[in-house]
Amino acid sequence: MNSIYQKNFQSLNDKTRNILSKIQDTEMLDFVLEESKTKIPILRIENHYLHSKHDPIKEAYRFATELPYDGKERIYLYIGAGLGYIIQESLAKENLSHCWIESDPRILKLALSLYDYSSYLINQKLQILILPISEDDLYEAFKGKSTVPVTLVPHRASFQWKEKEYLSIKFICEKFFHKKDVNLATLVRFEKIWTKNMILNLPSLINLQPVSRLFGIAKDCNILVVCAGPSLTESIPDIIKYRDQFILIAVDTALAILDASGIEPDLIYSVDPQSLNSYYLEGYNGKGKLIFDPTSTYLSLRLNIGPKEGFFSSSPFPFIKILDEVSQEEIGEIPYGGSVSTNAIALAKLMDADKIYITGQDLAFSHKLAHAKGAILEERLNHLESRKFRREKHNQFQLSALPKLWEKSLDGGKIHTNEKLVIFRNWFQENAKEVINLTYSGLSIDGLRTSHFQDEFEDSQRTILEEDSKKEIIAKQSSKLKERKDLVRNARDRIQSLCIEKKAWLQPKALRKSLAELHIQLKEFLPEVEKGVKLSSLIYKNIESGSENAEYLSKKIQEMNHVDEAVSTRKNLNQILSTSLQRVIFSVTEGYESNLSVQERENERLGIAKKSILLYEGLRNSIQNFKFHISRVILQLSDES
């Protein structure tokens, strides 16, 4: 092959290079390069042409101009591209990333010999994949770009040549990006709950401690994170036996099981925004201290019987900056991985643990169960169970809520899991390789060392027996074990003492003042937004009537421009409202077309006017939502003072 191919070849990832290097010349006989009428190379495979026989460049340009491009960040994912002319048309455009997936490596071997892609491959503006591709390949290719919109670009001639193979690529990609859509749908579903919880939790957070006070507190100690997977019940005897050798962080769903077994956690992590989450904590009267995310349900901190003392973390949501501004010390941010167990692992790292263990993290339906026996979700079925509704039916519903996946299990076989749980598996593989997995059964997590309680907390001492005398060994074992237990006991005492001291981290008056100022700003902002709603509606009605008054329309559009400018200058408020705005923008840009009438779809100007109405209505509703909850908190803080 020529020098262009060699430059491209050296710039590819190892897997793609390995596939291309195995192609023999005899395998290329049916892949023939011919010239189009414009003297441009085109590819013929048997009787199929993958490009226009007249002008493939013009063909590619015409198709490229139809792809969405607004100058903002976007990914084009090409499902087949022949010799790559369609890709060449878009490579120079700013803020675009490209991923080219081919079913047959022989096409790529020819394409990479005709055009120098090396600079784009090196800076990863272009990535090339070849079947077979796995979810891990896509995960690596799109790492860090989960929020960037993706446009699938199917190559029609390739589909006509081998429809089954290219449809397979399309299916794999659609399945992968469905997860991103799930995350965006989560934003739409939970944004209002998050906002409500963050605001209504403010008075209660005053009585908790910043989680930064825990950072570094477990130096040289082991930490065990306990989750509520189906196999947790198998771990209970070991947790009891070795309890004094580690700090125990329990996810809230596992609390009832531990409490019923007489196991006292040191920390209890709660992160779920839904009101159901408060049931996990209800009735607990032990010494475990709460680790609380500000977006967790506000009901948890209002339980008559439940954990009252603990720590709270900062949050990626911009509204939390109102606490940062009045706090007298750093609150402390815990990296968010999408579930309470990922957060607990991140906290263990920040506590500077010597070793981090995890158990009950099945990430699968071990023993055909959705959760460990004795969990609160199961106990609540006692109130719901009837002749027509049995707990087995509820368990079966949870097992079949998402399509079944069969993945590698800890015992080397296959185990039933689903797409959501695999996402968390991938997080652990990427972010928690130092964690030691003590889970009895469940999904295998590549990169995490699998072990057993006995091997970690007892058998590890026996390796010295061959080197020293028995008497010396007993003394060393006893001394080392005592030292480990002393370190754990001291760390546990420090956690307890932090909550007893209750050192103030803010002045409630300062918080009330900041909220009052924000309430005034929202009150002043609302009329501007309502004017935007009114003007958008007037413009919409004028276009809808069909008898557009050009002078009237121009005047209203100018007024609308002034409103847009006024709204955009409210940088502080827009930042605080940004999560709500993301929900609004997503619903408009991704989902609004399904709600358009036939007339609005046919008339582009009318559709744009409808988009403006939806944007301003969404912004107005967000402001009203914030105002309402903030006014409640101001009253509560005033009463308490």
Q: What is the 3-state secondary structure (H, E, C) of 173-222?
A: HHHHHHHHHHHHHHHHHHHHHHHHHHHHCHHHHCCCEEHHHHCCCCCCCE
In a domain, 401, yes or no: no
pLDDT digit string, tens, across residues 307-325: 989 999 988 777 787 888 8
Confidence of residue 335 (pLDDT cuts 50, 70, 90): confident
Average pLDDT, integer, range 206-217: 94
* Contact status, residue 186 vs residue 273, Cβ threshold 8 Å: no
Return left, alpha or beta for 506; rule: phi > 0 is left, psi -120 to 50 is alpha, else beta. Answer: beta
CA dist., res. 599 & res. 233, Å (int) = 60
596 and 467 in a common domain:
no
Report which of 196, 201, 217 is spatially closest to residue 314, judged by C-alpha positions. 201
Take residue 162 and report the two structure tokens written for it: 């081998």
Residue 464 is predicted with a pLDDT of 44
For β-strands 74-79 and 48-49, DSSP reports them as: unpaired
Q: Which stretches does DSSP call E strand in 282-402?
A: 289-292, 310-312, 355-359
pLDDT digit string, tens, across residues 516-543: 999 999 999 899 989 989 998 988 888 8
Q: What residue numbers bound the domain in which 230 lies?
A: 201-372+424-501
pLDDT digit string, tens, across residues 351-401: 999 999 999 999 998 888 877 776 655 555 455 555 555 555 555 656 666
Report which of 311, 359, 315, 321 is spatially closest to residue 333, judged by C-alpha positions. 315
Q: Is-above-0.85 flag for pTM?
A: no
Return left, alpha or beta for 291; rule: phi > 0 is left, psi -120 to 50 is alpha, else beta. Answer: beta
Report which of 460, 228, 205, 480 is spatially closest to residue 332, judged by C-alpha positions. 205
CA dist., res. 122 & res. 138, Å (int) = 18
Torsion angles phi and psi, residue 97, rounded to 5: -115, 150
CA dist., res. 35 & res. 33, Å (int) = 7
Average pLDDT, integer, range 437-444: 94
pLDDT digit string, tens, across residues 595-628: 566 677 677 778 778 888 888 888 888 889 889 9
For residue 287, which amino acid is it? K
Q: Is the pLDDT of residue 566 over 90?
A: no
Residue 41 is predicted with a pLDDT of 94
CATH code of the domain covering residue 67 = 3.40.50
Report which of 588, 590, 600 is spatially closest to residue 540, judged by C-alpha positions. 600
Which pairs from 499-504 meet CB under 8 Å and 24+ separation? 499/209, 499/289, 499/309, 499/310, 502/207, 502/209, 503/209, 504/328
Crossing angle of the two packed helices 3-11 and 14-21, in degrees rounded to 10: 140
634 and 585 in a common domain:
yes
Q: How many domains is the chain built from?
A: 3
* Contact status, residue 277 vs residue 296, Cβ threshold 8 Å: yes
In a domain, 312, yes or no: yes
Percent helix, strand, coil in the chain, to 5, is: 55, 10, 30
145 and 217 in a common domain:
no
520 and 474 in a common domain:
no
Q: Is the pLDDT of residue 641 over 90?
A: no
Q: Percent of the chain, pLDDT > 70? A: 84
Q: Is the pLDDT of residue 327 over 50?
A: yes
Q: Is the peptide bond before 132 cis (omega within 30 degrees of 0)?
A: yes
CA dist., res. 215 & res. 232, Å (int) = 27
* Contact status, residue 341 vs residue 358, Cβ threshold 8 Å: yes
Q: Is the pLDDT of residue 107 over 80?
A: yes
In a domain, 387, yes or no: no
CA dist., res. 235 & res. 228, Å (int) = 11
In a domain, 414, yes or no: no
245 and 100 in a common domain:
no
* Contact status, residue 435 vs residue 363, Cβ threshold 8 Å: no
494 and 558 in a common domain:
no
536 and 454 in a common domain:
no
Q: Is the pLDDT of residue 466 over 80?
A: no
| End residue of a domain, out of 455, 482, 501 | 501
* Contact status, residue 23 vs residue 106, Cβ threshold 8 Å: yes
Average pLDDT, integer, range 328-333: 88
56 and 41 in a common domain:
yes
15 and 112 in a common domain:
yes
41 and 87 in a common domain:
yes
In a domain, 126, yes or no: yes
In a domain, 402, yes or no: no
| End residue of a domain, out of 485, 501, 517 | 501
Residue 28 is predicted with a pLDDT of 86
Average pLDDT, integer, range 241-261: 94
| End residue of a domain, out of 122, 147, 181 | 181
CA dist., res. 76 & res. 99, Å (int) = 6
616 and 485 in a common domain:
no
497 and 514 in a common domain:
no
